[in-house]
Amino acid sequence: MNKKGIEVLVGCFVLLGLVGLLFLSLKAANLASFGESKGYLVTARFDNIGGLKPRAPVRSAGVTVGRVKTIGLDPKTFQGVVTMELNLDAQFPRDSSAKILTSGLLGDQFIGIEPGGDEKNLSAGDVITSTQSAVILENLIGQILFNKAADGSAGAGK
């Protein structure tokens, strides 16, 4: 093989590597789909959204059924308003509940949907009323320390 053929092969190999890096970075940032996805929008209100971000997955039974579209603050109730785009093939009953969950101990946050028992399904523009906010690790540690301190002071008084 001559020198020019080797250079072309090396160039193709480098180009293939760059395409692979681009693919991995888009997957890591949840931006793998460029086109407009087809789905319907539903909204949920949470007291605390923790570290939830736009484009975070919406899952049911571990399967991704949509993405978080937008996150905002309701100026009247001071709750986090999360708009989700659910896939058209994922139809949930109207009384379904939404929770903000964490992947692993310190992983990314996502929304988990638990189906209800209503015969009518959610449709575009509906609001999920049964929600559970994110569990904040710092708050849990503070509660444990406060309870330990309260137990220690109660035991000293006896």
The pLDDT tens digits for 107-131 are 788 999 999 888 898 888 899 988 8
The tens digit of pLDDT for each residue in 1-50 reads 688 888 889 999 999 999 999 888 877 766 655 555 688 999 999 998 88
Q: How far apart are CA 71 and CA 140, in angstroms?
A: 24
In DSSP terms, which residues pair with 110 in a beta bridge? 101
**pLDDT tens, residue by residue, 67-80:** 999 999 999 999 99
Q: Give the tokens for residue 60.
A: 């049911």
pLDDT band at 158 (very low <50, low <70, confident <90, very high): low
Alpha-carbon span 45 to 127, nearest angstrom: 8
Percent of the chain surpassing pLDDT 70: 88
Cut 0.85: pTM above it: no
pLDDT score of 153: 66
Q: If you compute the radius of gyration of the chain from its CA atoms, what whole number of angstroms results?
A: 23
State yes or no: pLDDT of 97 exceeds 60: yes
